[in-house]
Amino acid sequence: MIRACIFDLDGVIVDTAKYHYQAWRRLAWHLEYEFTEEENEKLKGVSRTESLERLLDLAGVQISEKDKKKYCATKNSWYLQLVENMDGSEILPGVSEFLAQLKDRHIKIAIGSASKNARTILKRIGLIDAFEVIVDGEGVKKSKPDPEVFLRGAELMGTLPQETIVFEDSEKGLMAAKAGTFVAVGVGGENLADFADIVIPGFKGLEYPTLLESMHLAQV
Ligand code: B16
Ligand code: MG
């Protein structure tokens, strides 16, 4: 019996994943490293500080802790410039309609994002009041694939993981959902199939009852 849904933000509600990639690639250029889209895939759902560590490893560069802080701040300022003019038109196709279906059925909805910029983005796209619970990178200690972000979301909504669907576009996020015993829906390509209970290409035209049926789950 499903009573709630938790949505990842970047790559699920809105395609900010491309802006994160652009900002990391710009930083990589400064390290004289060509950061590929494939390598970026592995950073999806990973916190800012951990992402920098991985980029430094890839580039084979060692810097001081003080410089790491500076680099993270620089990457974030570039990212914020890129998202500055975002508006509701960047909400991914079908997302608003799918959220409306959930509201009509009194299904609780939350955001579970690794991003410390989640609230800023939600304000820009006009969805800050759409979610009854928002758990973001400011509210958790452990990064995905640790399930903390989703467990906290479910706790705040008062639902059990088994009653809650997590929608995620990253391998790490889906691993977090499974580790927390949530129902895990991958949003994206078939490469996510090994990590999810089911994969959907996106929300366009998605009917909530059909989704539940395809996972043999009951409605409230
Ligand atoms: P920030 P999600 C994640 O958001 C992104 O996928 C990941 O690329 C990013 O590094 C991370 O947030 C931290 O973001 O630098 O804004 O705090 O997919 O969990 O919504
Ligand atoms: Mg994501």
CATH no. for residue 77?
1.10.150.240
Q: Which residues surround ligand 2, an ion (CB under 5 A)?
A: 8, 10-11, 45, 169-170
120 lines ligand 1 (CB under 6 A): no
Distance 100 CA to ligand 1 centre (A): 25
DSSP state of 92: P
Specify the number of domains making up the chain.
Answer: 2
10 lines ligand 1 (CB under 6 A): yes
97-104: average pLDDT: 98
Question: What are the pLDDT digits (tens) for 53-94?
Answer: 999 999 999 999 999 999 999 999 999 999 999 999 999 999
Question: pLDDT value at position 179?
Answer: 98
Q: Are residues 164 and 72 in the same domain?
A: no
Q: Which residues are identified as catalytic?
A: 8, 10
104 in helix, strand or coil? helix
Count CB neighbours of 92 within 10 A. Answer: 18
Q: Are residues 43 and 147 in the same domain?
A: no
Whole domain around residue 133: which residue ranges?
4-14+88-214
CATH at 95: 3.40.50.1000
Mean pLDDT (the chain) is 96
Q: Is 204 contained in some domain? A: yes
Question: pLDDT value at position 146?
Answer: 96
Q: Are residues 125 and 189 in the same domain?
A: yes
Candidate of 20, 86, 143 to mutate for ligand 1, largest count of ligand atoms within 8 Å of Cβ: 20
pLDDT band at 139 (very low <50, low <70, confident <90, very high): confident
Question: pLDDT value at position 219?
Answer: 72
Question: pLDDT value at position 110?
Answer: 98
- pTM value is 0.95
Q: Is 219 contained in some domain? A: no
Distance 114 CA to ligand 1 centre (A): 5
For ligand 1, what atom is nearest to the CA of residue 169? 18
Distance 164 CA to ligand 1 centre (A): 22
- Distances, alpha carbon 64 to alpha carbons 27, 68, 170, 177, 179, in Å: 16, 6, 29, 34, 33
* pLDDT of 28 above 80: yes
For ligand 1, what atom is nearest to the CA of residue 116? 17
Q: Are residues 182 and 150 in the same domain?
A: yes
Distance 217 CA to ligand 2 centre (A): 24
* pLDDT of 220 above 80: no
Rg of the chain in Å (alpha carbons)? 17
9 lines ligand 1 (CB under 6 A): yes
181 lines ligand 1 (CB under 6 A): no
CA distance 108 to 158: 9
* pLDDT of 48 above 80: yes
Question: pLDDT value at position 177?
Answer: 98
